Amino acid sequence: DYEKLLSDPNFPLINKVISLPQPTGPTFKPFVGLALLDSGTIDKSFTVVSEGCMHLSQNGETFCEAGKKSFGKIDFNEAIARSSNIFFCKAMLKMGIDKLNIYADRLNLNSKSDIDLKEEVKSTIASKELKKRIENSAWFDGDTCNTAIGQGLNKISLIQLMNLTSNIANGGSTYTPHLVIRSTKDFQYKP
């Protein structure tokens, strides 16, 4: 039975929250949006036209919305609401991957959350250096676009994604998560 568990492709013996960093997909876009706005690369009135797909000039790749949907002219709020790949690709190409990595470092995304569990694995955000080290390849516009939508070389643990979301929601404070066995105070929800 143990051998069966070890070879199971769903990794049932691995704590997926802390030990299995993965590409996050659209849940990464609020972080990218934060970096884009805070850096002054865009403001909330910045718009792009999404026709379903776009061609990347660097090496002839095509980059598309999910399902190749066309959203037309969209601004930041619509891009978040519709999870527009094209919006985030175009905005990230304007800002550049290096600046995104500065924000990733500020928010500790290239690290561990330091939760009280030994098995935690470090999260990583895609970068030119990481691609060179892993694939021995140059960085392309398609890499920037894939990173902007939470794909590519991004590997973030669920605990780090939770920390990131919490950081954005609470106005910029990062907290170290801890395990609590019991609380001495009763928690009462007050709407």
Q: What's the pLDDT tens digit per position in 61-110?
A: 899 999 999 999 999 999 999 999 999 999 999 999 999 999 998 888 88
Task: Quote the mean pLDDT of the chain.
Answer: 91
Of 154, 35, 53, 51, the C-alpha closest to 91 is 35
CB atoms within 10 A of CB 173: 8
The helix/strand/coil state of 62 is strand
pLDDT of 183 over the 80 cut? no
Phi and psi at residue 7, to the nearest 5° = -95, 0
pLDDT of 150 over the 90 cut? yes
pLDDT of 41 over the 90 cut? yes
Residue 184 confidence (pLDDT): 66
